[in-house]
Amino acid sequence: MYLPKISIITPVFNNEQDIAHCIDSVAAQTYQYIEHIIIDGNSTDATLSIIKTKASKNSTLKFISENDNGIYDAMNKGIQMASGDFLYFMGSDDVFYANSVLENIIQDLEGNDLVYGNVFFKHKKIVYDGAFNKTRIIDQSICHQAAFFSKRTFASVGMYDTKLKLAGDWDLFLRCFYHKNISIKYIDTIICLYDESGASGQNSENRITKYLTLYKRVGVFGIMKYWFIQIEKKLGRKSFS
């Protein structure tokens, strides 16, 4: 039976109201081959105190607290600390959809580099779901709280681009989908109860940054494809084939 180690990485800054729920959600998972890595950005509220108290009772919880250069810098620190075969990024205001999520999807990870499912939006009360392809990923991003990355993925495509303030996850997914050696699988399963009101829910860079990112990752074709998708949308057509 395939039993990979999963590293759950949580960046946090001043979120004393939610961090305990996040930690408890990870600790409650029925799948036991895990580690929870928290990257605290030198919080000035009670966040770090809560983390320390939880860590004193949980040997799978690791943390650092230091200044960083934004959420993607913190996530990159988590990647470097991780010892797992697969990495999963969870916001400090998010929780797993069920205690059995990891146990239920673990066999889907075997032989793949990127495995992703669905998330349930906490406030909108809707499921963000569906399979992506090279067309859809140009227009939209997979919610990173729905995705599991093999550790080798980051050696192949690189880590998060810290120059991007909001859409570093979309940029990473673009690199994965347009890399010939990254094996990708979609599973129709809700992974996370996702708080879309947080920073990671605001994943739209300005248009110039979006075009520059598409050009860097996909080339002129990416920009042209994006324009075509927008025209199709205005005409009421779906163009994700």
Task: Tell me which residue of 218, 173, 171 sits closest to 227, measured CA to CA.
Answer: 218
Distance CA 142, CA 161 (A): 17
Say whether pLDDT at 204 is over 60. Answer: no
pLDDT band at 205 (very low <50, low <70, confident <90, very high): low
Q: Give the pLDDT score at 166.
A: 87
Distance CA 96, CA 145 (A): 9
Distance CA 26, CA 4 (A): 16
Q: Give the pLDDT score at 114.
A: 98
Say whether pLDDT at 203 is over 80. Answer: no
pLDDT band at 197 (very low <50, low <70, confident <90, very high): confident
**CB crowding 160-197: b at 16 or more within 10 Å, else e:** bbbebebbbbbbbbbbbbbbeebebbbbebbbbbbbbe
The residue with tokens 């081959």 is 33
In the predicted model, what is the mean pLDDT of the chain?
94
Instruction: Pick 144 or 236 by higher pLDDT.
Output: 144
Q: Give the pLDDT score at 206.
A: 79
- Spell out the SS3 assignment of the chain: CCCCCEEEEEEECCCCCCHHHHHHHHHCCCCCCEEEEEEECCCCCCHHHHHHHHHCCCCCEEEEECCCCCHHHHHHHHHHHCCCCEEEECCCCCEECCCCHHHHHHHHHCCCCEEEEEEEECCCCCEECCCCCCCHHHHCCCCHHHEEEEHHHHHHHCCCCCCCCCCHHHHHHHHHHCCCCCCEEEEEEEEEEECCCCHHHCCCCCHHHHHHHHHHHCCHHHHHHHHHHHHHHHCCCCCCC
Measured in whole angstroms, how far is the alpha carbon of residue 190 from the centre of its chain?
14
For residue 35, what are the β-bridge partners? 7
Write the burial class of residue 46 (CB in 10 Å: 0-12 exposed, 13-18 middle, 19+ buried): middle
Q: Give the pLDDT score at 239.
A: 59
CATH architecture entry for 6-234: Alpha-Beta Complex (3.90)
Q: Give the pLDDT score at 201.
A: 55
Give the tens place of pLDDT for each residue, 108-125.
999 999 999 999 999 999
Give the tens place of pLDDT for each residue, 36-54.
999 999 999 999 999 999 9
Contact 112, 184 (CB under 8 A): yes
Please report, for the chain, the start and end positions of each structural domain, with discontinuous segments joined by +: 6-234
Provide the token pair at 169: 């996850």
Q: Are strands 95-96 and 184-194 parallel, antiparallel or unpaired?
A: antiparallel
End-to-end CA distance of the chain: 35
Q: Give the pLDDT score at 50.
A: 98
Give the tens place of pLDDT for each residue, 137-184.
999 999 999 999 999 999 999 999 999 988 899 999 999 999 999 999
Q: Give the pLDDT score at 196.
A: 85
Rounded to the nearest 5 degrees, what angle is found at the Cα of 7, between the Cα atoms of 3 and 13? 160
